[in-house]
Structure 1
């Protein structure tokens, strides 16, 4: 699948792991997007940039980094620094699969009270997410 930023200065191709969409309610995603970000997991190593002169990567935590176009500001991906896990902004795809499924909400304990999604999803707290990534990094060592 192909995707890009709003202005077209950053273009990529990627292989999706599945069609499950995840929502992040963490304070960084909410500040970065003025809402939530909806992402989809990609196959490890499949995110390839075809045009990347304006791709920037921000080290957002001890174990994660965010990619964005430094011309238009489009959020493109979040990945672990070891690049064992990566997801992309589902709306950066040129065409979304027809069978997308809103599957999970993470950092649910950080979600403001004034909004909620109607459908039922798996819900992970900040502690759940941190434990998940700490367990994965321990498995790698």
Structure 2
């Protein structure tokens, strides 16, 4: 699949691991997007940037980093620093699969009370996510 940022300065190819959409309610995602970010897991090592002169990678935690276009600011991915796990902004894909399904909300204990999703999802707390990606904490 192909994708890009809003302005088209940063483009990529990727293979999706599945068609499951995940929502993150952490304070960084909410601040970065003024809402939630919706992501899709990628096959390990499949995210390849075709145009990356304007790609910036931000060191967002001890174990994770975020990639974005430094021209338009589009958030493109989050991945572990060892790149064993990566997800992409679901809306950065040029052509989204028609069978996408929202099935997971992470950092659910950080979610503000003023919004919620109607469909049933698996929910993980901040502690659950930290244990998954950084088991030494």
Q: CA RMSD in A?
A: 0.8
Once the two structures are superposed, residues 49-105 of structure 1 have per-residue CA deviations (whole angstroms, 9 ceiling, x without a partner) of 000000000000000000000000000000000000000000000011000000100
Moved over 6 A (4+): none
Alignment: residue pair count? 136
Q: Which runs of 5+ in 2 are unaligned?
A: none
Query: CA separation in 1, counterparts of 2:106 and 2:79?
Result: 15
Query: CA separation in 2, counterparts of 1:95 and 1:106?
Result: 25
**Contact 2:63–2:134 under 8 Å retained in 1:** no
TM-score normalised over the length of structure 2:
0.98
**Contact 2:42–2:86 under 8 Å retained in 1:** yes
Question: After the TM superposition, which residues 8-87 of structure 1 pair with which residues of structure 2 at under 5 Å, given as runs?
Answer: 8-87=8-87
Higher helix share: 1
Query: CA separation in 2, counterparts of 1:121 and 1:63?
Result: 25
Correspondence for 1:3: 3
Query: CA separation in 2, counterparts of 1:8 and 1:128?
Result: 35
